[in-house]
Structures are given as structure tokens and as C-alpha cells.
A and B are shown apart, each in its own frame.
Chain A
């Protein structure tokens, strides 16, 4: 199997370059990450993040043949013989496939990603009906891998001003939670030409999500709530 991988070490490289690698596949190489780990055994300077290797921690997001995805759940069998790997687009590169995710997390933090409920907590759990809880499905599962936000042209242009699909999905996760009391404050926080309305429904986010979540739909629901509130 052949690879072309984006390499950049600011400690010694003047500019980024693409480096070719070849790997003889073994039976145990199932996922792209397996191949990357074996390439790193040959060349220990090849740098990428990884942890859970099962698609739940969100560490190994990268651009795989032009599409964002997680290396650990991308099957080698589904890839062509030549694979091109680049860091997630739009974020500053720290080194090789490792990007600086500060802007991404700043936007996540900006939506107040925590339950807000001003009542004194009851002695037991707050009640929530199964149907109400189901409203959170497709939202709470986000792993903050940034595949969506870094596939979004609006986020590329304005990562400091536009919340981006991941942050907006989480904003809606709290709006949709019957235990949360800050809906109107949350909508105020997003009612802005940039923070929410830079979304032009391009839908790259939903296409890129490795967990099959639908940020575009959540964004649509927030927009709808703002429109309804205005009339």
C-alpha cells in the first residue's frame, strides 16, 4: 500500500512537504490507524494523535484522500491503493498531521456547553420522559473530533467568529434538554450574523461526521427557533 503524507516539523522544515511511504500490509492491518502505527515504527518522526483506536475519543481525525475522517475506523479495504493524508483543513498545523485545535475548542466553550438549571437540585434525579430523552439522541454522542467544523468553508473563513457545526450541535444539545432552563439566553448568544448565520447549509458537516450525526439539521432547528421567536 502506498501513502503520501503531509510532513511539517517547524523545528527543522522551512515549509511543508508531501512524503511517500510504502507499507506491506499484514493480516492484522484492518484500519488506516493500524497502518499508520506500523509506518511510525519505521519512521518514528511521523506525528499524529491517536488514543482509543475505536472511534470514540476523537483524536485521530485527519483528511483522508480529500475527506475528513477518523483513521481508526477507516477500513483499509475501503481505501484505494494510494492514500493521501493531510491534517484537518483550516486549522494551524503544529506538526505533520497534528493541528492546533484552540479555535475549535474556543468555539465549543463559547456556547456554554453545560446544563444550566437555576432551581435547587431535588433530592433525587430530575425526571425526564423517554421521549424527551430521545431528543438528545444524535446530539450528545459528538466526540469533538472536528471533522465537521474543518470541512465547513464558513468555518475556514471565520473560525474566530463562526461557532461552527460542532459547537452549534452542542448548543442545540442543551437547548433540546428539558432539564435546561437557558434556552432564551442560548438563542441570544447565537443570534448573530456570524456565530450562527454564517451557516449557509452547505452540508459538508453532516457528510463528514464519522459518527453519522447531523449538525446541519441541528443548526436548522436553532435557526427555526430564532425565526419563530422573532415573529
Chain B
């Protein structure tokens, strides 16, 4: 079947913060750029980020990029690549000031400068007990304000959008270069080839592989699935962040900014238990630390409610003025989803899956890198990955709050810049497409069209989510991990037999959900297999049988390959770009 083909200089898959930032760079450079998104851009999940974006502006407390770098390295439990972390922290002020110039409605201090609040793990003076006020905030709607601002700038720059298009697979030639994607227009059901000199994946995380997640329905790891099927490994997928404060029972995010503004956690005895686990930072310790403390309180019977299965987030002492000015969105969420008005009542919360530290291996310029001929980080020509779908790795084993939005801007911009340079340095014409460019995705579509009476997508998906929740939780147990790998394998086999009843061409969301399930399965397999194999505790991976970090054997990045379901490892970049290495030490808050 000959597909219609359209040619661009660059295509960006995904229209969240990093995709829009990359697209803006390309559009402003006058290149022909197309942005594909499953949803209208402002519906992307960046919209749900709440608390802030990190930058050492020093508006509210003394600050320095090197302190930010230290906090990020320590927060990563020393798995983050220190050159990339230095790069991100040094560019933070630049990208946040640019965002302000674009019209971002940041909150303000009395002197008119951007308002900044404390956040977990952000300190002054290399981990001193004094917290740094580094989180630049637009109330508790920072992601919403940022995503809309970036979309608006793309409207101004006349970026071309393909709204409600789903990318299905990468096109790679015999030399391994990526030449574009095969994508599906949801409204018509028609597939098309989009050919480009640069393909930038910005597809976000895969948090929907878990049952209880702060993530949107669309976060199904589509870029990860595409990369894995194209022979590119996935890095550090065992590290999935549990955010300490998801609304109990609903999973909706309650920003760490609540604790930044002075809120704190209580167990059933009304005890501020974080004082025991993190004597200095208390409730503003790193997310992995707080989530483990909460899980421990619950496990040891000090949880709240009739089932003793959650803890309480108290903030009424902040007073209605602070809550209404700085935290209006979470007040709305708590009232709607927890039946609790935080002006009077605490919010019931549990650790909830939130963020994928791992992803498609990329360097700090946004280029996708994979082992080839002994080079562990050979650039994959024509392919870039930015944002949550990428593993640069700046977050290592645990991300600090507010570093995510920063990551989107820094690496979205850097990836755009690098793509521009590569396009300008490269050939004027597009490379020839291989004959079988669209065979794999078309076969997948044809199978969905022709199969009936198979496994139901919703059931297979629900079983996957339940298994991941059960087997890859806050604390990980050896038998559960081994069983988890088997279960995910069984579910993957069932996913081969799914069918959909809806065969319509027009806006077929059943087909989309089936295609998403294939991608989720790749990401979940990578997570389960990588987690089982890593015999240590580090950041978000907390193993009951190996409770300590093991730098001698495990200070290395995992690479999972779909083919053969096998693992490889590559070294962590301990050497920063210009400063001295932060040597690993015991991590306390």
C-alpha cells in the first residue's frame, strides 16, 4: 500500500512543554516544522504540573546554580549524569527568564520580580539545613500557565500542528538513521508518512502502566514503544517516582508546593512523622524519602482512616489568604476529589505514581544515543528525544520537584538548537525512504481491523496496571519482582491477541487505546525487567532484600532492549562539564 508522504525539515512528536519548546526554536529559525499530537496542544499533560519551575534566580533567598546542581546530583542518588545536570542548572535562569518574556504569568514579589517558593530537596549552600526558594510559580498552576504560554508563542510563530494525530512507528533506514514517522490521523483513520531530516520525540511518560497514577490517560509511553520497536534501548526504566501526595482513592496530584508553603504530613496519632525520617528537611525531603516514610507509617499501622491506609496533609494553619492566593487549584481539587476543604480539613493522601525518570537514552543536546560498535553513546542520526520520554539523565534515580518543567524547557530548547544545526549542516534533500518504511505499523493496523473475538483492550490494560502496581511499588520485594516479570510477560502475550469491536474509520478511540496498549506493554516490560535485575536500593528503587545503595556494583545506567528482552549497562557520567565531581556520599535530609 502506497501511503501519502509529506516532507518537513523537522517533526516533533508530542506537544507538551518540551515538544512545544523545541518546535518554537525550529519555527523561529524559519525551518519547516510539523508538530504531531494525540490531543490539542494545551491538553498535554504538562498542563497538570502545579508547584513551580526551578531556577536559581535568587529572588527570595540567596541561590546559585552550583547549589542547584549539588541538590540535583544528590536528589538523583548519584545516578544522574553530572555533565548534563551542570548543563541544565546553568541554563535554568536563561530559559525561565525567556519564559517570562514570552508572557508567562508568574506570581510576583512586592518588588515586581518572580515569586519563588521552597520545594523538596532544594537547599542553600550544598545541602545546608537552610532551604532555597528556587521554585518559580504561577500559583499552583505553573504547568498550565507554561503550556499555554508556549502554545501561544507557537501560534505567533505559525508552527504547523497536526492535532489529533498519533505517531505509530519510527522509520529507520539500513544505516540506522531515522527518517521520520508513520502516523495516523484520528479523525479519518488514515495513516500517512511524515518524512523529516530531524525527528524529535517529546511524547512524555508512561505513568498509565500503573493503577494509581497522577498521570493523564494519554501518558502511555508512545515514544518509548516506537523507540523500542526500532531497536533503540530504554534507559533506567526501573526508576519510577511515587509522588508523596496523590489524593487518596483518586490519584490526583497535590503539589509539593503545599509543603513548600508550610503544610506538613500527619499520621493517625497526629504526629508530624517526617521529623523522624528527615530531621532537617522534614516534609521537604526528597520525594523518594517522603514516599518511603509514608509507606512505612502505613505498613506499621500508623496510617489514617478506618483502613489505616493513608496519611493526612495538613495546611489549614496557612490560613485562607495564602491558600486562596498560592494554592487555589489544590483547594479546588481537594474539595472535588477528597470532599475536604483544606482551609478547614486536612487532605487524605498516599504515595502515587507520578514520573518516569528513565526513558529513551539521550545526551544533553537532545540527540538519542545507543550503543554501536563499542561506543556506548553513539548518536542515532536524525533522532532526538526531549522531556519526560527522554533519559538524559538529569534525574537519575529520583527527580527533584520543579526540575521536570525545567528539564522540558532546557532540553526542549537544546534539542531544537541541535536539530537546527544538524539540518543546516546536512544534505539539502531528504534521504530516500526504505521500501518497507510503513510495513510494521500497517500490519498492526490491519491486524486490529481483521481480528475479532480476542482479548479486550480494557481488560488486558487493567490487568497490566494492577500487576505493575502490585509488583513494582514503593518498596520492592524479590519474589514479587520475579513474579511481576512473569506476569507482565503473560500480559504481553495476551496483548498480541487483543481485538476491538469498533471497526469504524472515524475517530476510532478504541483503535487508539489498542495502539496505546502496545506501547504501554513495552514500557512496562522494561520497568519490570530492569527493576528485578537491579540488586540494590537507590532513589525510587527500594528493595527489601538489598536495602543499601551499592556504588561498587550498581553505579551504572540500565539499558533494556525489546529484542531478546535483554539488559545492558553503561557508566554514569561522573565528570561535570567545568566543575569538580560531587562524590557519592550517604544521602540524608
Do A and B interact? yes
Given A40-B458, A127-B111, decide whether A51 and B105 contact each other with a Cβ distance below 8 A. Answer: no
Chain B residues whose C-beta falls within 8 Å of the C-beta of A174 in the assembled complex: 103
A56 lies within 8 A of B47 (CB) = yes
Give the residue name and chain of the B residue nearest to A173 (CB). B105
Let me know if B533 is at the binding interface, CB within 8 A: no
Chain A residues whose C-beta falls within 8 Å of the C-beta of B107 in the assembled complex: 130, 133
Chain A residues whose C-beta falls within 8 Å of the C-beta of B103 in the assembled complex: 114-115, 174, 177, 179-180
A57 lies within 8 A of B113 (CB) = no
Let me know if B68 is at the binding interface, CB within 8 A: no
Given A51-B218, A52-B47, A75-B336, decide whether A115 and B40 contact each other with a Cβ distance below 8 A. Answer: no
Complex Cα–Cα for A127 and B456 (A)? 55
A101 lies within 8 A of B502 (CB) = no
For window 453-481 of B, CB contacts with A under 8 Å fall at 456-459
Task: Report the stretch among A17-25, A118-126, A188-196, A220-228 that lies at the interface.
Answer: A118-126
User: Smallest CB–CB gap between A228 and chain B, Å?
Assistant: 25
User: Smallest CB–CB gap between B159 and chain A, Å?
Assistant: 12
For window 104-158 of B, CB contacts with A under 8 Å fall at 105-114, 138, 141, 144-145, 148, 152-153, 155-156
Task: Report the stretch among A136-144, A148-156, A157-165 that lies at the interface.
Answer: A136-144
Let me know if B504 is at the binding interface, CB within 8 A: yes
Let me know if A59 is at the binding interface, CB within 8 A: yes
Give the residue name and chain of the B residue nearest to A52 (CB). B216
B501 lies within 8 A of A51 (CB) = no
A95 lies within 8 A of B152 (CB) = no
Let me know if A128 is at the binding interface, CB within 8 A: yes
Neighbour of A44 across the interface among B106, B253, B333, B500, CB < 8 A: B500
A130 lies within 8 A of B42 (CB) = no
Neighbour of A95 across the interface among B105, B217, B336, B507, CB < 8 A: B507
A101 lies within 8 A of B40 (CB) = yes
Let me know if B252 is at the binding interface, CB within 8 A: yes
Let me know if A129 is at the binding interface, CB within 8 A: yes
Chain B residues whose C-beta falls within 8 Å of the C-beta of A12 in the assembled complex: 504
Complex Cα–Cα for A130 and B115 (A)? 9
Chain B residues whose C-beta falls within 8 Å of the C-beta of A117 in the assembled complex: 101
Neighbour of A125 across the interface among B100, B337, B507, B510, CB < 8 A: B100
A129 lies within 8 A of B112 (CB) = yes
For window 1-60 of A, CB contacts with B under 8 Å fall at 9-12, 28, 30, 40-41, 43-45, 47-59
Complex Cα–Cα for A105 and B154 (A)? 14
Chain B residues whose C-beta falls within 8 Å of the C-beta of A53 in the assembled complex: 216-217, 252
Chain B residues whose C-beta falls within 8 Å of the C-beta of A180 in the assembled complex: 103
User: Smallest CB–CB gap between B584 and chain A, Å?
Assistant: 35
Complex Cα–Cα for A130 and B114 (A)? 10
Chain A residues whose C-beta falls within 8 Å of the C-beta of B42 in the assembled complex: 57-58, 143-144
User: Smallest CB–CB gap between B275 and chain A, Å?
Assistant: 31
B112 lies within 8 A of A47 (CB) = no
Complex Cα–Cα for A56 and B100 (A)? 22
Let me know if B29 is at the binding interface, CB within 8 A: no
Let me know if A94 is at the binding interface, CB within 8 A: yes
Chain A residues whose C-beta falls within 8 Å of the C-beta of B422 in the assembled complex: none
Chain B residues whose C-beta falls within 8 Å of the C-beta of A51 in the assembled complex: 39, 43, 45, 216-218
User: Smallest CB–CB gap between B113 and chain A, Å?
Assistant: 6
Let me know if B577 is at the binding interface, CB within 8 A: no
Chain B residues whose C-beta falls within 8 Å of the C-beta of A123 in the assembled complex: 97
B43 lies within 8 A of A127 (CB) = no
User: Smallest CB–CB gap between B326 and chain A, Å?
Assistant: 12
B509 lies within 8 A of A48 (CB) = yes
How many positions in chain B have a CB within 8 Å of any CB in the partner chain?
62
A114 lies within 8 A of B43 (CB) = no
A95 lies within 8 A of B506 (CB) = yes
Complex Cα–Cα for A141 and B329 (A)? 10
B48 lies within 8 A of A54 (CB) = yes
B48 lies within 8 A of A56 (CB) = yes
B504 lies within 8 A of A45 (CB) = yes
User: Smallest CB–CB gap between B25 and chain A, Å?
Assistant: 16
Let me know if A109 is at the binding interface, CB within 8 A: yes
A109 lies within 8 A of B155 (CB) = yes
Chain B residues whose C-beta falls within 8 Å of the C-beta of A9 in the assembled complex: 504, 506
Chain A residues whose C-beta falls within 8 Å of the C-beta of B153 in the assembled complex: 114
Let me know if A73 is at the binding interface, CB within 8 A: yes
Complex Cα–Cα for A144 and B152 (A)? 12
A126 lies within 8 A of B506 (CB) = no
Let me know if B102 is at the binding interface, CB within 8 A: yes
Complex Cα–Cα for A115 and B109 (A)? 21
Let me know if A98 is at the binding interface, CB within 8 A: yes
B152 lies within 8 A of A11 (CB) = no
Let me know if B250 is at the binding interface, CB within 8 A: yes
Complex Cα–Cα for A129 and B459 (A)? 53
Neighbour of B97 across the interface among A11, A98, A124, A129, CB < 8 A: A124
Let me know if B486 is at the binding interface, CB within 8 A: no
Complex Cα–Cα for A98 and B163 (A)? 14
Given A51-B45, A57-B47, A144-B42, decide whether A125 and B506 contact each other with a Cβ distance below 8 A. Answer: no
Let me know if B187 is at the binding interface, CB within 8 A: yes
Given A44-B457, A98-B507, A105-B40, decide whether A128 and B337 contact each other with a Cβ distance below 8 A. Answer: no
Let me know if A66 is at the binding interface, CB within 8 A: no
Neighbour of B144 across the interface among A48, A56, A127, A128, CB < 8 A: A56
Let me know if B505 is at the binding interface, CB within 8 A: yes
Neighbour of B507 across the interface among A47, A121, A128, A177, CB < 8 A: A47
A44 lies within 8 A of B458 (CB) = yes
Complex Cα–Cα for A30 and B114 (A)? 38
Neighbour of A129 across the interface among B108, B218, B509, CB < 8 A: B108
Extra contacts, 13 of them, besides A44-B458, A54-B48, A124-B97 (Cβ < 8 A), are A11-B504, A40-B509, A44-B456, A52-B217, A57-B43, A98-B507, A114-B155, A115-B152, A121-B101, A127-B111, A127-B113, A130-B107, A141-B141
Interface, chain B (partner A; CB < 8 A) = 39-40, 42-45, 47-48, 57, 97-98, 100-103, 105-114, 138, 141, 144-145, 148, 152-153, 155-156, 187, 216-218, 249-250, 252-253, 329, 332-333, 336-337, 456-459, 500-502, 504-510, 513
**7 residue pairs bridging A and B, Cβ less than 8 Å apart:** A52-B217, A54-B337, A56-B47, A56-B48, A57-B43, A114-B155, A127-B112
